[in-house]
Chains A and B, each alone.
Chain A
Amino acid sequence: MTVKQLKNIELNDMKNIALGGAFLGTGGGGDPYIGRLMAEEAIASKGPVRVLDVEELDDDALIIPVAMMGAPTVMLEKLPRGDEAIAAVEALQNYLGKKATAIFCIEAGGLNSTIPIAVAAATMLPIIDGDGMGRAFPELQMVSMTMAGVAACPMVMADEKGNSIVLNAVDNLSTEKFARIITVEMGGAGLIALYPMTGAEAKKSILRGSMSLINSIGEIIHSEQAANRNPAIRLAHDLNGICLFEGRVLDVDRRTEGGFARGSCTIDGLGPDIGSQITLDFQNEFLIAKTADGKPKAITPDLICLLDLESGQPITTEQIRYGFRVIVFGLPCNPQWRSEHGLELVGPKYFGYELEYQPIEKLNLAQVSQ
Chain B
Amino acid sequence: MYRIGIDVGGTNTDAVIMQGDKILIGVKSPTTADVMSGVVESLKKVLLETGIDNADITAVMIGTTHFTNAVVERRSLSNTAAVRLCLPAAQCLPPMVDWPEDIKEAVGGHYWMADGGNEFDGREISPLNEDQLHKIANEIGTLGIDSVALCSVFSPVNDEMEKAAAEIMRKRLPNASFTLSSEIGRLGILERENAAIMNASLRKLSAHTVGAIGEALKSINLNCPYYITQNDGTLMSAKFVQEYPVLTFASGPTNSMRGASFLTGEKNAIVIDVGGTSTDVGALVNGFPRPASTSVDVGGVRTNFRMPDVYSIALGGGSIVQGDDPIAVGPRSVGFRIHEQGLLFGGDTLTATDVAVGLGIANIGDPEPAKKLGQDKLLTIKALIDEMIVNASERMRVSADEIPILAVGGGSILIPDRVGGLTVIKPEHFSVANAVGAAIGQISGEVDRIFSLASITREEALETARKEATGKAIAAGARPESIELLDQEDVPLAYLPGNATRIRLKVVGDLDG
Contacts and interface: CB of A to CB of B under 8 A. Distances in A.
Interface string B62-91: 000000000000000000000000101111
Interface string A52-86: 00000000000000000001011011111111000
Contacts of A230: 398
B398 A78 contact: no
B309 interface: yes
Nearest to B304: A319
Interface in B76-132: 86, 88-93, 97-98, 117, 119-121, 123, 125
Interface string A313-356: 10100110111111000000000000000000000000000000
A187 B306 contact: no
Contact of B89 (A79, A228, A257): A79
A311 interface: yes
Most B-side CB within 10 Å, residue of A79, A83, A162 = A79
A82 B91 contact: yes
Contact of A71 (B93, B120, B293, B398): B120
B309 A187 contact: no
Contacts of B304: 319
Contacts of A325: 285, 290-291, 293
B117 A321 contact: no
Contacts, number: 124
A34 B458 CA distance: 31
Contacts of B394: 228
A318 B304 CA distance: 12
Contacts of B451: none
A253 B489 CA distance: 9
A311 B294 CA distance: 9
A21 interface: no
A318 B121 CA distance: 17
A329 B199 CA distance: 37
A193 B398 CA distance: 44
A44 to B, nearest CB: 12
B293 A81 contact: no
A191 to B, nearest CB: 11
Contacts of A187: 89, 119-121, 123, 125
Contacts of A188: 119-121
A256 B492 contact: yes
Interface string A241-262: 0000000000111111100000
B291 A255 contact: no
A262 B487 CA distance: 21
B88 A77 contact: no
A268 to B, nearest CB: 12
Given A73-B120, A256-B120, A308 B93 contact: no
Given A188-B119, A310-B290, A310-B398, A77 B189 contact: yes
Contacts of A308: 293-294
Interface in B479-511: 485-490, 492, 494
A125 interface: no
Given A78-B117, A81-B90, A313-B293, A318 B154 contact: no
A150 B88 CA distance: 34
Contacts of B125: 78, 160, 187
Contacts of A253: 458, 490
Contacts of A38: 92-93
A4 interface: no
Size bracket of the A interface? 35 or more
A319 B64 CA distance: 29
B187 interface: yes
Interface in A283-308: 308
B449 interface: no
Contact of A82 (B92, B98, B189, B190): B92
Contacts of B294: 308, 311, 313, 315, 319
Contacts of B291: 323-325
B39 interface: no
B337 interface: no
Interface in B355-413: 394-395, 397-398
B489 A322 contact: yes
B494 to A, nearest CB: 6
Contacts of A324: 291, 293
A76 B187 contact: yes
Given A71-B120, A188-B121, A253-B458, A81 B89 contact: yes
A144 B32 CA distance: 66
Given A78-B90, A81-B91, A321 B154 contact: no
Contact of B489 (A37, A78, A321): A321
A76 B485 CA distance: 27
A160 B487 contact: no
B188 interface: yes
A326 B92 contact: no
B173 to A, nearest CB: 26
Given A73-B120, A311-B293, A315-B293, A78 B91 contact: no
B120 A74 contact: yes
Nearest to A76: B188
Interface in A221-239: 228, 230
Interface in A132-150: none
Nearest to A319: B294
A256 B122 CA distance: 12
A274 B412 CA distance: 36
Contacts of B306: 321
B153 interface: yes
Given A78-B89, A228-B395, A255-B492, 17 more contacts: A73-B187, A76-B188, A79-B89, A79-B190, A81-B92, A82-B93, A228-B394, A228-B397, A230-B398, A253-B490, A310-B309, A315-B294, A319-B294, A321-B306, A322-B489, A323-B486, A324-B293
Interface of A: 34, 37-38, 41, 71, 73-74, 76-83, 160-162, 187-188, 228, 230, 251-257, 308-311, 313, 315, 318-319, 321-326
- Counting from the closest, the 8 A-B pairs by CB-CB distance are A82-B92, A79-B90, A187-B119, A308-B293, A160-B89, A255-B492, A188-B120, A313-B294
21 contacts: A37-B93, A41-B97, A76-B188, A77-B188, A78-B86, A78-B119, A79-B92, A79-B189, A187-B123, A188-B121, A228-B395, A310-B398, A311-B294, A319-B294, A319-B304, A321-B293, A321-B487, A322-B488, A323-B291, A323-B486, A325-B293
